[in-house]
Structure 1
Amino acid sequence: MLLTMIGRYCLGENPEIATAGYIDVLARIGVSAHATRLTLSRMTERGLLERARRGRAAYFRASEMGLDVVRRQQQRTFHDTIETPHPEGAWTILCFTLPETHRKERHLLRRRLAWESFGLLRDGVWIAPGERDVSAILEQLPGAGADQHVEVFTGYPKFADVEGMISRTWQLSELAARHERFLRAWDVEAPVPEATDDLGRDLVLTSAWRQLLRETPRLPAEHLPPGWPAARCHELFHALHETYRPDADRIFAGILAEHRMS
């Protein structure tokens, strides 16, 4: 939720905000002051936030690492589409064999590939629809020389059963169920009843949508079962976000004016 807040409202200016400001925001979705303070401390320890003090008051803003994480999240959350990947019929194939000395990089690479809609075809071989630029993924690997163990190709399946390849790589029934859960939670008259206003509703909505994107790859619609729910989820998220956004922006502007470091 805090990363969602920073991405929505603080990405450009990155202001230093008092602890009380974060408490004010997260209280709108039922998060206690103690939990907010603990989260701020943990995010600072992980290098995502920076802490400054003025007297007894603590102020926080995103670090460069945190801003980098948020920028990537914002791109995927608000600017990606559900259009068929291009060029039509192409797939990106990424193969890697990272030794035990690169265990951290191996774990990070798997996480980043999953976030970027790659699926594990077989051990060490990941695929994603379309022609994908993976340079940003490889640049995030912390160890020197890890990219030397990675090979990337663009190819076209030499058989007609692309649906079978997709079903062997991704659990389609599970992916469909995740989309349906999002629809059941948000395609209702009064979603997220624990939120006290549109700022809270927008934060929960955006975080839920981001979680869905993290768990579900962008797959070509023509090779998916009829009635695949991704398009309905995409339309619902953007419609609700536009409904909540005006009041959410106004409410947060008031909180920022009260709690930012002058």
Structure 2
Amino acid sequence: MTAATNQADVQARELIGTILAESPLKAAGFIVTIYGDVVEPRGGVAWIGNLIETCADVGISETLVRTAVSRLVASGQLLGEREGRRSYYRLSQSAGREFAAAAMVLFEPFEDRGWQFVHMTGLSADEQMQALQRAGFARLGPRLAVGPAGPLPATIAGTVFGAETASGQKALAAFVADYWDLAPHAAAYRQFLAQFEPIARFLESDAPAAKTSLAVRLLLTHRFRSVLLHDPRLPSPALPKDWPGQDARRLFACLYRKLSPAADAHVARNFVTAVGPLAIATAATDRRLTGLSKQRV
């Protein structure tokens, strides 16, 4: 490690410490991020030793990792398997589908698709409504919801109506204010920007070691994922003029692409399965980088 790289590593570690102090991690959530960012696009299987080593870089102990993995197995997200004395964990099929859907939101360019109304049928309308609200929809009635057009949760049964704003553009902000509280989402985006803009500034001239690059990228993905997946992601005309979401998307795309060469090299050198090391790149990781390169600047 050169003196310049060592200095960049120290800087990166200090920034990681600041972010962790402001936004403490939970072991299970961070392990989910490791799978989503590193493991899922490379086959979905990881050695628990790699999880322990990676979590240690952000202050999560081995005991917490093992407890969190056990809980993820119990909840059906991970499946365990042994090869000799080593334990490996793979994603369940249902978790793999969830990870793929989340990856589309994180790594594909955002598209304004307008609005849609959903009228639910069946006896489980309350459960369906809760699923829609988690997906960013607003409740208009016992069986009627409105939200951004796009894929719906798999549990939804009913009639879907496509819609667009035909008139009343000036009143759209009032309509949105009646049904969505966007202030917490804007605050979360601004905190994300404040936490990671300093990293973008020093990456313009310095680069941390590969191991630290992976830790920073995982933390970046973890924080952005938590903000973005809670955002209702409404069509752009419905958002305030000072909406920080697009700036956050650009920052995430820029940092992820800059950190990836070193981070992926660390993965290829250190992450293993029962049949060999994880690949430095796959068609899935290439698609992610391509999608991020298309983010509007």
Match of 1:180 in 2: 190
The verdict on how the C-alpha distance between 1:200 and 1:108 changes in structure 2, with shifts beyond 3 A counting, is: farther
Question: 1:38 Cα deviation (Å)?
Answer: 0.9
SS at match of 1:92: strand
Match of 2:160 in 1: 152
SS at match of 1:219: coil
Match of 2:282 in 1: none
SS at match of 2:242: coil
Match of 1:221 in 2: 236
8 Å contact kept, 1:114–1:214: no
Match of 2:148 in 1: 129
TM-score after normalising by structure 2 = 0.70
Question: 1:122 Cα deviation (Å)?
Answer: 4.6
Match of 1:92 in 2: 116
Question: 1:243 Cα deviation (Å)?
Answer: 1.7
- 1:200 pairs, out of 186, 193, 215, with 215
TM-score after normalising by structure 1 = 0.79
* 2:41 paired with 1:51: no
- Gapped regions of structure 1 (runs ≥ 5): none
Q: Could you tell me the percent identity over the aligned residues? A: 23
Once the two structures are superposed, the pairs formed by residues 1-262 of structure 1 within 5 Å of their partners are 1-14=30-43, 16-81=45-110, 83=111, 85-86=112-113, 90-96=114-120, 99=123, 102=124, 106-107=126-127, 110-111=130-131, 113-114=132-133, 116-130=135-149, 132-134=150-152, 137=153, 140-141=154-155, 147=157, 150-157=158-165, 159-160=167-168, 161-189=171-199, 197-256=212-271, 259-262=272-275
Letter in 2 for 1:179: Y
8 Å contact kept, 2:118–2:144: yes
Distance 1:60 1:114 in 2: 32
Distance 1:28 1:206 in 2: 15
SS at match of 1:23: helix
- CA RMSD in angstroms comes to 2.5
Distance 1:36 1:154 in 2: 44
Distance 1:60 1:241 in 2: 25
The verdict on how the C-alpha distance between 1:190 and 1:222 changes in structure 2, with shifts beyond 3 A counting, is: closer
8 Å contact kept, 1:179–1:233: yes
- Gapped regions of structure 2 (runs ≥ 5): 1-29, 202-210, 276-297
The verdict on how the C-alpha distance between 1:214 and 1:133 changes in structure 2, with shifts beyond 3 A counting, is: closer
8 Å contact kept, 2:120–2:128: no
Distance 1:97 1:2 in 2: 36
Question: 1:97 Cα deviation (Å)?
Answer: 5.9
Letter in 2 for 1:245: S
Letter in 2 for 1:129: P
